[in-house]
Structure 1
Amino acid sequence: MPSESPIRLSAQQACVRFGSLDALGPIDLSVRAGECVVLLGPSGCGKSTLLAALAGLQAVASGSVQADAAGGSDIPGVVFQEPNLMNWATAEDNVALPLALSGVEKDARLSCAQAALKRVGLANFANAYPRTLSGGMRMRVALARALVNDPSSLLLDEPFAAIDELGRRALDDLVLEAKRDHHLAVLFVTHSVDEAVYLADRILVLTPRPGRIMAEIAVPDVPRDPTFLTSPAFAEAAAAARRVLSAQLVAA
Structure 2
Amino acid sequence: MPAETPIRLSARQACVRFGALEALGPIDLSVRAGECVVLLGPSGCGKSTLLAALAGLQAVASGAVQADATGGSDIPGVVFQEPNLMNWATAQDNVALPLALAGVGKVERLGRAQKALKQVGLTSFSAAYPRTLSGGMRMRVALARALVNEPSALLLDEPFAAIDELGRRALDDLVLEAKRDQHLAVLFVTHSVDEAVYLADRILVLSPRPGRIMAEIAVPDVPRDPAFLTSPTFADAAAAARRVLSAQLVAA
Q: TM-score, normalised by structure 2?
A: 0.99
- Say which SS state the counterpart of residue 68 (structure 2) adopts: strand
> Separation in 2 of the partners of 1:145 and 1:195?
22
Displacement of 1:243 in angstroms is 0.2
Matching residue of 2:61:
61
Q: Deviation string for 1:83-106 (max 9, x for gaps)?
A: 000000000000000000000001
Question: Is the 1:67–1:73 contact (alpha carbons within 8 Å) kept by the matching residues of 2?
Answer: no
Summarize the Cα distance change of 1:249–1:195 in structure 2 as closer, same or farther, 3 Å threshold. Answer: same
* Aligned-pair Cα RMSD in Å: 1.0
Matching residue of 2:91:
91
Question: Is the 1:176–1:199 contact (alpha carbons within 8 Å) kept by the matching residues of 2?
Answer: yes
> Separation in 2 of the partners of 1:70 and 1:167?
32
Displacement of 1:4 in angstroms is 2.0
Displacement of 1:3 in angstroms is 3.3
Matches within 5 A, 1:106-121: 106-121=106-121
Matching residue of 1:224:
224
Q: State the identity %.
A: 89
Question: Is the 1:14–1:25 contact (alpha carbons within 8 Å) kept by the matching residues of 2?
Answer: yes
Question: Is the 2:73–2:151 contact (alpha carbons within 8 Å) kept by the matching residues of 1?
Answer: no
> Separation in 2 of the partners of 1:9 and 1:78?
13
Matching residue of 2:8:
8
Matching residue of 1:49:
49
> Separation in 1 of the partners of 2:105 and 2:39?
37
Q: One-letter code of the match for 1:235?
A: A
> Separation in 2 of the partners of 1:46 and 1:188?
13
Question: Is the 2:69–2:76 contact (alpha carbons within 8 Å) kept by the matching residues of 1?
Answer: no
- Say which SS state the counterpart of residue 67 (structure 2) adopts: strand
Which runs of 5 or more structure 2 residues have no equivalent in the other structure? none
Displacement of 1:132 in angstroms is 0.1
> Separation in 2 of the partners of 1:124 and 1:209?
45
Matching residue of 1:79:
79
Q: One-letter code of the match for 2:75?
A: I
Matches within 5 A, 1:207-218: 207-218=207-218
Matching of residue 238 in structure 1 with residue 221 in structure 2: no
- Say which SS state the counterpart of residue 69 (structure 1) adopts: coil
Matching residue of 2:122:
122
Matching residue of 1:146:
146
Matches within 5 A, 1:154-165: 154-165=154-165
Matching residue of 1:33:
33
Which runs of 5 or more structure 1 residues have no equivalent in the other structure? none
Q: One-letter code of the match for 1:44?
A: G
> Separation in 2 of the partners of 1:173 and 1:2?
23
Matching residue of 1:23:
23
